[in-house]
Structure 1
Amino acid sequence: MTTRENIQELNDHLQAFPKAEDIFTKDQQWLRKHFLPLMSIDLAEINPEWAGQKVYMLSPFEPYEVYIGYNTTEYHNEYTATNWLAFKLTDDNKFEFLGKEGFFERTAIHDWDFNSEEEKEFQEMQKGYEKSKANFEKYGSLINLYSPEYDGKLNKVNYLNRLGGDIWDGNWTTTIESDEYPKAFDMKIEIGNDLPNDGISITYQGNPFYFIAETASYDWYGGGIDAIIMLYEPVSRIVLFTFDYS
């Protein structure tokens, strides 16, 4: 599959700021407390055979200083692990979380202090997100939160840094190397030069995951994630997220 980089224009397949209530299944609307919805992507943009299958680029509020799931290992299951989480795409294009609510630290399950300094950081993320959304509605583009203009022009940033193409190696793959990924999936890295997907193989029941997209959270709300990475396995319709930090 071909790859495109530095996506700054939208179309019928790529839409910014979808409504959170339209993303998650009816019985999992509580997920709205844990994610900022960035984009909806009709997968026809990558593969015409996937037309009508719509996935969502999401940014989690967590982590704070550590990987998401780092402090909640007792609530991991075969579909979640530190720095990994998965959804199933339903027939009506909703996300069904395949993990447990306790995977998220920011819950009453873990006696989260909603007056804590960590919570204040998350609220700042929400404010940055709302500001970006307002800028988008005003200017029709995603623009830099801190320097909205440069040289007399709008200082546009990327909706997506990359769309389609090969999976790439990065800091996020250390969990594969250390065998700390969700065990519903088979993940391997082959060492060598010029290998497809940088030698990375991620499958579910023998079927491969494909790279869908990546984006940086700081382009959307000032967060600290360098790459939110979304992968898709079209037979099971599982959407897999992991996160890269430089």
Structure 2
Amino acid sequence: MFPETQNITSLNPNFTAFPDAKTIFSTEQAWLAKHFLPLLSIDLAVFNPEWAGIVVHMLNPIEPYECYIGDETGEYHNEFTCRNWLAFRLSDDNRYIFLGQEGYFQNTPFHQPDEDLLAQEAEMRQDHQQAKDFFQKHGKLPNNEAFLHVLGGKFEYSNWSTEDPPPAFHMDIADDGLNITYQGKPFIQVAAVAGYNWGATGADAIILMYEPESRTVLFTFDWT
């Protein structure tokens, strides 16, 4: 566990806002760029100097439209993905390798996405681009929103923790907070932020966590 910092409104060299999707997803899974808006890359040197050069990426998923992500695609869930949870492996060159199946997402050839979802995708991409343009001009987010609400700290019980994680992961609820593990190894909370801080719709909190030994990145989403 690392000390919690709240409301990050300025960036030091350990943070890169609006990273290029072509640089953060596995080249074999280039289709991931269709499903996520890249928000912020975080060099884990912010927590531990020995982790310098290990970079994880905060993402805002395009889905869901009117439910949790993965809510309508249960036949494509596996041990690393389920309703409201999804996981990546971080490659040696800091790219995300999705540990689920492409069919986990509704807007794929495996499903028939409805017009509302397609319209939401177009709107989110437009809003995201406008926020990126604003940042490049002014060095901050529109309305001076925080880049992150939380950096580090412990996991707190909230709406997201009422949803069980995928089978590969284990969550314990304790008096002092939550413990989330993979193969007995604990995740750290890297950061949390509202998707809409970054100029598009999204969850009230995107929670990004990391398990260093396996280089597993786990996301879940809080909706109030």
Alignment map for 1:1-246 (pairs within 5 Å): 1-113=2-114, 116-144=115-143, 156-176=144-164, 181-190=165-174, 192=175, 195=176, 198=177, 200-246=178-224
User: 2: distance between equivalents of 1:120 and 1:67?
Assistant: 18
Are the aligned partners of 1:75 and 1:103 in contact in 2 as well (CA < 8 Å)?
Answer: yes
Q: Deviations over 1:164-194 (max 9, x none)?
A: 1111111001113xxxx2001111212x3xx
Distance 2:15 2:155 in 1: 20
CA distance in 2, matches of 1:90, 1:19: 16
Assess if the C-alpha contact under 8 Å between 1:88 and 1:237 holds in 2: yes
User: How far has the Cα of 1:117 moved from its partner?
Assistant: 2.2
Q: Letter of the aligned partner of 2:9 in structure 1?
A: Q
Task: Give, in whole Å, the separation in 2 of the partners of 1:221 and 1:111.
Answer: 27
Shift of 1:118: 2.4
**Consecutive unaligned residues in structure 1, runs of 5 or more:** 145-155
Superposition RMSD on alpha carbons, in Å?
1.0
Provide the C-alpha distance between the structure 1 equivalents of 2:203 and 2:170, rounded to a whole number of angstroms: 25
Compute the displacement of 1:11 (Å).
1.3
Partner-residue secondary structure (3-state), 1:106? coil
Give SS of 2:163's match. helix
Deviation at 1:133, TM superposition (A): 0.5
SS in 2 for 1:6: strand
The one-character-per-residue Cα deviations of 1:24-63 (angstroms, maximum 9, x if unpaired) are: 1110111000000000000011222221100000010000
Q: Distance in 2 between matches of 1:120 and 1:184?
A: 34
Partner secondary structure for residue 108 of structure 1: coil
TM superposition shift of 1:223: 0.7
User: Would you identify which runs of 4 or more consecutive aligned residues in structure 1 move more than 2 Å?
Assistant: none
Bigger CA radius of gyration: 1
Aligned equivalents of 2:35, 2:208: Cα separation in 1: 17
Q: Which amino acid aligns with 1:47?
A: N
CA contact (8 A) 1:187 1:202 kept: yes
State, as a whole percentage, how many aligned pairs show the same letter: 51
- Residues 92-143 of structure 1 show CA distances to partners (whole Å, capped at 9, x for unaligned) of 1111000000000111210224xx1221122111111010001011111112
TM-score by length of 2: 0.97
Equivalent pairs counted in the alignment come to 223
How far apart, in 1, do the equivalents of 2:189 and 2:48 lie? 11
Task: Give 1:4's aligned amino acid.
Answer: T
8 Å Cα contact 2:134/2:140 also seen in 1: yes
Q: Quick one: distance in 2 between partners of 1:140 and 1:16?
A: 9
Preserved contact between residue 61 and residue 202 of structure 2 (Cα < 8 Å): no
